Amino acid sequence: MMTAPLVVLQLAFLQDAAVPAQPQAPAQPSAPASATEPAKPVAPPTRFGELVSLEALEQSLRQLAASSDGKVTLASIGTSTAGRTIHALHVTSQPKRKVPVPAVLIVAGLDGWHRSGSLVAAGVAERFALEQRAAIDARTVLDGLDLWVIPVANPDAWALGLARPQDHAGRVGAGIDDDRDGRVDEDAPRDVNGDGVIAMMRRLDCPSDAPATRVADAADPRLDRAPDGAKGELAAFSLMIEGLDQDGDGSVGEDAIGGITVDANFPHLWREFAADTGRFPLEAPEAKALAEFIRTHPGLGAVYVLGRQDSLARTPNHERRDITGRTPVFIDGDDKALYERIGKLYRDSTGIERARDAAHEGSFAAWCYAHRGLPTFCSQVWQRPDPSPPPEDKKPEDKKDAPKPNDEESAAWLAWSDRDQGGRGFLPWKPFDHPTLGKVEIGGWAPGFRTEPPSATLPELITKHAGFVAALAGESARVRVERVKAREIAPGVTEITVDLVNDGRMPMTTSMARTNDAVPPLRLRAKVSIDALLSGDVERRIERLDPGSRASVSWTVRRAPKSHVEIGVHYPSGRFDRVMVDDDALLYGGRVLEGGWEW
């Protein structure tokens, strides 16, 4: 009990260090008192509440491991293209645990535009490790669960941050000739007007071979839409990324800096002929390191990915299939109920109900689910906040005839930027005399405005996501031997029945795992000679054990008095138990000896 006040003091110190300007010093004396008071619904302080340099984040990870009484171990799962360490945190309540338990894996930082996801992932590890009971009952959860957190899966991209346009943010390594013109990175998007940001351009003088395609949206001329030909509208400009067309080929920014997009370099729905997806799947060392980690950690019960994609705010489509007709593009129909239920848990835990579309072909999450059969859930970390109501002078009657925005979601982002964020979210369109394109306007969304939440919200986001991870862990499949019955049906002949149960809330394996044999079935292997086996199979396989369901397997074997029969129980997770049936078992039932991992 001596350590608890120390932890509180240390966290208070860290909070002050992270937010030096906040006049919150008077709150400090109340910190020790709160240890005895009931938890307040306030997000506990965190050392991951602010976007910092990669080096500073790594330093915080090391500090977390050092201050956790051995509950957090910092390991490396590999090295990035540029030679940076890819860290993994292992969080457990029992560092010397001998019997393996299922683990939840959290992966974040796959590209450079969702760095807050890395902070949230590390912050969740911190919450579990330091048992911030205001947020979650971490001890209960960790008793039956370990947590793996890979907060920055793509450190090279993370280090670059928002310096590159979002579409290219996750690229690593040497340049690729994106447009196959024999030159590499010859016309990357760039900051043409020198405002420090690569934004968008509206080209006003469009040539006939690259005609205008968009008009400004009357509801808010900062936004654009396709012209309505039926109303005689003519397109006024084309929209393109800020750049120069340095090679004069008519395209702007067509050959971006950088090589492989890590989160498009995984095998499922890998785009073979795209410029940035790698020459072969898992070519990027970052992708290979993640895949290796998954392969060598078969006990993962669920994977939670924080970044570009979402599969929780909205349940993924379960009907679309690829051209073979066999592989689901998103999820298998039989896994729909699972995703709906976990999605509801997520929305209840985080309050996040909105999501943006994002490409998922070749992504880590798509591969984890489709090829490895793992229940894999994606979160975009936060959602667009609701804008404050419009000011008084814009009364509803004035707006009755006002045109409706074509893209309501973008309009709502703008409203939030204008009314609540001092307009920081959008760079107004400004005329610019472009050296190769003539008259243009440069402006658009401020980089990261819609992907990175304000730092002030991070502690609360960490609390919400930690709550979801705790809920997710509570949902995992819990397959175990419920009882072992042994009965002597004739002298020297024993009938053995092993009852199995899944008293968790997830199926033993996803439907996807069964479809593609990604995960072995549960196997029960009787270790008896073939002539001692009077009935039953040497090995029995159980493909499916849904939540709340049971399975029962029986054998009849010859067993001499004072001898024993062993049955190996091999779970899909790679764990195994041993069932022992001897003379005592006839009275008390067989014993289950926890084995370990088979890996």
- Could you list the residues that contact Ca ion (CB under 5 A)? 177, 179, 181, 183, 187, 191, 193, 195, 197, 245, 247, 249, 251, 255
Print the SS3 string covering 289-350: HHHHHHHHCCCEEEEEEECCCCCCCCCCCCCCECCCCCCECCCCHHHHHHHHHHHHHHHHHH
**Smallest distance from Ca ion to CB 449, Å:** 15
SS3 375: coil
**Smallest distance from Ca ion to CB 392, Å:** 36
**Which is closer to Ca ion, CB of 181 or CB of 407?**
181
**Smallest distance from Ca ion to CB 444, Å:** 9
**Which is closer to Ca ion, CB of 197 or CB of 264?**
197
**Smallest distance from Ca ion to CB 194, Å:** 7
Burial 558-567 (b: 16+ CB within 10 A, else e): bbeeeebbeb
**Which is closer to Ca ion, CB of 178 or CB of 335?**
178
**Which is closer to Ca ion, CB of 247 or CB of 407?**
247
Fill in the amino acid letter for 97. R
Q: Furthest-apart CA pair in the chain: how many Å?
A: 99
DSSP string, 43-99: PPP-TTSS---HHHHHHHHHHHHHTTTTSEEEEEEEE-TTS-EEEEEEE-S-TT--S
**Smallest distance from Ca ion to CB 171, Å:** 14
> In whole angstroms, how far apart are CA 555 and each of 89, 407, 429, 486, 522?
44, 65, 77, 10, 17
**Which is closer to Ca ion, CB of 217 or CB of 242?**
242
**Smallest distance from Ca ion to CB 17, Å:** 34
Contact 82, 156 (CB under 8 A): yes
**Which is closer to Ca ion, CB of 177 or CB of 537?**
177
SS3 171: strand
**Which is closer to Ca ion, CB of 63 or CB of 251?**
251
**Smallest distance from Ca ion to CB 519, Å:** 42
Angle (CA) 353 354 359, round 5°: 125
**Smallest distance from Ca ion to CB 432, Å:** 9
Contact 126, 47 (CB under 8 A): yes
**Smallest distance from Ca ion to CB 250, Å:** 7
**Smallest distance from Ca ion to CB 441, Å:** 11
**Which is closer to Ca ion, CB of 183 or CB of 271?**
183
**Which is closer to Ca ion, CB of 255 or CB of 577?**
255
**Which is closer to Ca ion, CB of 137 or CB of 247?**
247
H/E stretch holding 170 = none
Task: List, in order, residues 6 or more apart from 253 with CB less than 8 Å away.
Answer: 165, 187, 188, 189, 190, 240, 241, 242, 243
Measured CA to CA, the distance from residue 345 to residue 294 in angstroms comes to 25
Q: Helices 54-66 & 115-130, crossing angle to 10 degrees? A: 10
H/E stretch holding 254 = none
Measured CA to CA, the distance from residue 455 to residue 138 in angstroms comes to 24
